[in-house]
Structure 1
Amino acid sequence: MTAAQADLQIDRPMVADGAALWRIARDSEALDLNSSYSYLLWCRDFAATSAVARDERGEPVGFVTGYVRPDRPGTLLVWQVAVDSAHRGRGLAAALLDGLALRTAAERGLTAVETTITPGNTASERLFTSFAERHGARVEREVLFDAGQFPDGPHDPEVLYRIGPLSLTPSA
């Protein structure tokens, strides 16, 4: 953890955090914004596979949401990662992702991480390729959903990043 992260606490989200996560996602201007209801449900039903960063007042300033794939119990699918604009550029997204991966590995035997990234999202590409490097894993990429599969208008394809096998240790 860097000095800029020292005043932050990373833990599991609570239902009370759902509205803040929705606002952080909305304000990111990069994520597909889900309904506010979905963030409330996510904080309730997937708290064990998600993480939130809190400032000194306990307010959420960043999050990563994920779930363990039912057909691949050693794989964590990372759904969204977002950091409040006032806290960007400090390595918080990487700290959230590392912390969640370590916790999930300890609790569920995590061996791989998956996520989808739209072409041109260089911040996410850097986040996940550097995650793979830190944990001695390779990255495989393939289009998971092409643009034509989205029924609600123009949407970039979603490229699946499969990262593994992971070498996760508490010092990571």
Structure 2
Amino acid sequence: MTAAHADPQADPQAEFLEMPESLRIDHPEVADGAALWRIAKDSGNLDLNSSYSYLLWCRDFAGTSAVARDAQGAPVGFVTGYVRPDRPDTLLVWQVAVDDAYRGRGLAAALLDGLTARVAQDQRMTTVETTITPGNTASERLFTSYARRHGAVVEREVLFQAGQFPDGPHDPEVLYRIGPLSF
């Protein structure tokens, strides 16, 4: 897969990485919530939220989230995020997941690039943040390669210590702050 670098003002989709196999990036809809929950559950790496939260996410944060759809329109991957209220130039990426049948094809990178290009068109955005548990190599690679593609620096610090989680053993969550970005 190669990056398509064209004038994003001429074509908002121009900043998206080319999508494999006739997939397309779209806004999530409430009807997608169950599929996003299933993809997250099947990922084996994500903290699974309640099914209710995925429905709300598709309703309330559709503008800062993206879904990849197959030729029939079914979700096969997603990225959820929100603009931090105290930092309106920062997009916090909550979760990224791709259906097992579509992994290894660059879909997560295409979703991340597509979402950040779209959000940057709507508002000033200079930073992407996410948290990653130590040892989640796929996420570490996804976000460090995102930073490289966009010529940005990655700063890392522990955001939440393991002992701060009230529901049992949990690895620490390391904050990845990527920026400055220019779109």
Q: TM-score by structure 1 length?
A: 0.95
Aligned residue type for 1:135: H
Q: What is the aligned partner in structure 2 of residue 129 from structure 1?
A: 144
- In 1: Cα distance, 2:112 partner to 2:19 partner: 16
2:171 aligned with 1:156 = yes
2:86 aligned with 1:97 = no
Q: What is the aligned partner in structure 1 of residue 6 from structure 2?
A: none
Aligned residue type for 1:75: T
Output the aligned Cα RMSD: 1.1
Q: What is the aligned partner in structure 2 of residue 14 from structure 1?
A: 29
Q: What is the aligned partner in structure 2 of residue 66 from structure 1?
A: 81
Runs of 5+ consecutive residues of structure 1 not aligned to the other structure: none
- In 1: Cα distance, 2:19 partner to 2:110 partner: 11
Runs of 5+ consecutive residues of structure 2 not aligned to the other structure: 3-17
Written as runs of structure 1 = structure 2, the 5 A alignment for 1:17-166 is: 17-166=32-181
Superposition deviation, residue 62 in structure 1:
0.1
- In 2: Cα distance, 1:131 partner to 1:108 partner: 20
Aligned residue type for 1:165: P
SS at match of 1:152: coil
SS at match of 2:22: coil
Superposition deviation, residue 108 in structure 1:
1.3
Superposition deviation, residue 4 in structure 1:
6.3
- In 2: Cα distance, 1:139 partner to 1:4 partner: 25
Judge conservation of contact 2:23–2:68 (CA < 8 Å) in 1. Answer: yes
Q: TM-score by structure 2 length?
A: 0.90
Superposition deviation, residue 5 in structure 1:
1.1
Superposition deviation, residue 6 in structure 1:
4.2
SS at match of 1:44: helix
Q: Percent identity?
A: 81
- In 1: Cα distance, 2:152 partner to 2:21 partner: 27
The ranges of structure 1 where at least 4 consecutive aligned residues each deviate by more than 4 angstroms after the TM superposition are 1-4
Q: 1:140 to 1:109 in 2, by over 3 A?
A: same
Q: 1:71 to 1:4 in 2, by over 3 A?
A: closer
- In 1: Cα distance, 2:85 partner to 2:28 partner: 21
